[in-house]
Structure 1
Amino acid sequence: MTLAQARAAGFTVHEVQRLCRAGRWRALARGGYLVDADAYDGIPRRARIRAAVASFGPGAAAVLGTAAELHRIDGLPRSELIHLSVPGSASRPVRDSHPEVVVHQLVIGPGQFGRVAGIMATDAMRTVTDLVLREERYCAVSLLDSALNRRLLSPVDLERMPSLFRGRRGAVAARRYLAEANGLAQSPLETRTRLRCVDGGIAPDVLQIEVRDGDGYLLGIGDLGWRAARVVAEADGRHAHGGPAALFADRHRQNRLVNAGWTVLRFTWSDTLRPDYIPWMVRSAVTARRPPSGRPGS
């Protein structure tokens, strides 16, 4: 709640100050307060963003990584910074009162922003466009994949995006990233695993591969697949695969796939930090499934 909203609701400045001293309200930014602060364990992230946007006036909007966070578009490293765009002279940084806020002055068209969770922010198209131009390849493709997977962007939007790149720094690389986007990837880890395979010359031929038995019964779905070699790779993210139920389900599915004659490889985030490891493991598995030279079927 802003101070203006509090006064409109009948609170005096003295009453707001008293609530803050009592710990029931907490000042978050210039003229912004977290109501019922004692009910929270810490300050909710969205409350910080909302207060920062409100403190810079009606022209402010969340942009870049903060807008992606509000849209729940994955692919960027976690950050406590809040990126805002503020028009005119208000765009000058105010680091003393807002140490976590990074203020930009972006030219945003009237149709390129709106409210996300009640907070003014650039829309998904503008957010991804701005970030793809600024980020390195793995982050950029992860952002594109996430936005496509969540249906915040469509293939038609990707066809339009180069026109938004035109004349901006990073446009040449950004156009290449568009060609690598795939909305079937369900997490940045899957995207990074795929890109490591692409860079290593052993790209998967299918994502979210369905493996069925002779009767058509679904044995499992793999993140990345090499059908001819009957090899599946799984990207084991901490959130999706960390709980006991998920671990048991993963083991049961893996057993079904192995019994059906498939090789199952599992990769984690740390594996993607090693450029050669994932493609080497996949190539070794694919090679092991090929019949030796000179034998029937070779």
Structure 2
Amino acid sequence: MTPVPLVPVELAAMADADGLVRVADLRRYGVTAREIARWSASGVLKPLVRGWYSLAQDDDRSAWERRRHDHAQRTRALVLQLDGAAVASHHSALVMHGLPTYAADLRQVHLMRTQDDHSRRRPGLTLHRCVDGAGHDATSVEPAVAVVQAGLLGSAVSSLVAADAAVHRGLVTTDALDEALDLLRGPGSAGVRRILGHVDGKAESPGETRTRLALTLMGLTLESQYAVTDGDFLAVSDLRVAGTRLLVEFDGFVKYSRADPYRLERCPSDVLVTEKVREDRLRELGWVVLRIIWSELDDVAVLRRRVERALALADATAQTLVTLGTPSPVSGL
């Protein structure tokens, strides 16, 4: 990780709680343009939008997490710059609420005006017209509105990914989503409404949401967070194909290695070993486990073939268990 330059005390004192620094405050304090340029060149200050910088931060976030953080900082700066005339909307509001985005261009900040109906766009910023009745606080539209807006802006799937997470975390209800859909009725809203009919607050990741949607569109009936127990053994699978012995897991394909061999805390390789032991036990109990990765979600033909083979294997396994007279394990929560 690249070392972060030390932040001068006076800069830290003038930054707000989110680490934003306004140039006007620096100049009022007597900081010269040359000093600001030097701090920016050294990495102490990071330019966001005209008139605003953020302090350098030392963290171990992933590249994707840093992009989300940078987007949130630019969004905050633009909201402050417009001084109450606009709030974060669409995927920018999702980021502000800590909700996942899908297929979103984080180079572009989206804001909604709070009073007038004029919209405009320039590189880095889209200002949308005010939507009467859309709830918001000082910085962002409410989560349900942001969920629907995100789907109207790009892929409807982005609405479902965000909605699953928002319902899971208790930030929205299905009733709130219905109200937001009514509020934002217009071109594209029928598609967003249709896909939001598949909301499932049990989903625990965007990949799980996309997997469930893909299999549902293939005509399968699914049960989320399906639990299999056997004595003191408990395994909760992302999905079960109803009426079968097929369990489906989404695999985010994390790096299964230990970056520092001398660190003792749990790392991805430990997770891999645990998952293998868990799946071995499930197979011993007569379950078929199908793992799906990101790339397969974008290749429906490949995914369908794998699912069909897994279903055939699950059916054969069930027939074998019936022949052997093996009782089914207690399952389902």
TM over 0.5: yes
CA deviation after TM superposition for structure 1 residue 91, in Å = 4.9
1:196–1:279 Cα contact (<8 Å) kept: no
Aligned-residue sequence identity (percent) comes to 26
Give the structure-2-normalised TM-score. Answer: 0.72
What is the letter of the counterpart of residue 104 of structure 1?
Answer: H
1:228 pairs with 2:243: yes
- 1:203 match: 221
Amino acid at match of 1:60: A
Q: In the alignment, what sits opposite 1:255?
A: 280
Alpha carbons 2:152, 2:189 under 8 Å: kept: yes
1:230 to partner: Cα distance: 1.4
Corresponding residue SS for 2:300: coil
User: Could you say if the C-alpha distance between residues 241 and 272 of structure 1 is closer, same or farther in structure 2, counting changes exceeding 3 Å?
Assistant: farther
Out of 135, 139, 149, the position equivalent to 1:112 is: 135
Deviation string 1:196-220 (CA, Å, 9 cap, x unpaired) is: 212222232x11110111x3x3331
Matched-pair contact (CA < 8 Å) for 2:97–2:143: yes
Are the structure 2 counterparts of residues 163 and 210 from structure 1 closer, same or farther at C-alpha, using a change threshold of 3 Å?
same
- Which of residues 181, 190, 200 is equivalent to 1:182? 200
CA distance in 2, matches of 1:49, 1:137: 23
Which residue is 2:151 aligned to?
132
Q: Specify the alignment match of 1:83 in structure 2.
A: 110
Give 2:270's aligned amino acid.
A
CA distance in 1: counterparts of 2:205 and 2:175, whole angstroms: 21
Residue type at the aligned position of 1:126: V
Alignment map for 1:135-174 (pairs within 5 Å): 135-166=154-185, 168-174=186-192
- Deviations 1:27-55, CA, capped at 9 Å, x for gaps: 432221224x4868999513322222222
CA offsets per residue over residues 230-273 of structure 1, 9 Å max, x none?
A: 11111011459882222222212111111111111100010101
SS in 1 for 2:127: strand
Q: Partners of 1:231 and 1:125 in 2: how far apart?
A: 34
Matched pairs, number: 279
TM-score by length of 1: 0.80
Greater shift, 194-203 or 233-242, is seen at: 233-242
Secondary structure of the structure 2 residue equivalent to 1:122: coil
Distance in 1 (CA, whole Å) between partners of 2:213 and 2:239 is: 11
Task: State the Cα deviation string for residues 139-185 of structure 1 (Å, max 9, x = none).
Answer: 2322221221222112332343443244x222322221221111111
- Please say if 1:31 is aligned against 2:54: no
Query: Which segments of 5 or more consecutive residues in structure 2 lack a partner in the other structure?
Result: 1-20, 61-65, 258-267, 324-333
Contact 2:95-2:101 within 8 A present in 1 as well: no
Q: Report the residue type matching 1:207 in the other structure.
A: S
Match of 2:87 among 50, 61, 73: 61
Match of 2:35 among 2, 19, 25: 19
CA RMSD after TM alignment: 3.2
One-letter code of the match for 2:187?
Answer: R
Runs of 5+ in structure 1 lacking a partner?
A: none
The corresponding residue for 1:282 is 307
Match of 1:192 among 197, 210, 228: 210
> For 1:235 and 1:151, how far apart are their aligned partners in 2?
23
Equivalent-residue separation in structure 1 for 2:187 and 2:273 (angstroms): 47
Matched, 1:2 2:22: yes
How far is the alpha carbon of 1:90 from its aligned partner?
Answer: 8.2
CA offset at residue 101 of structure 1? 2.0
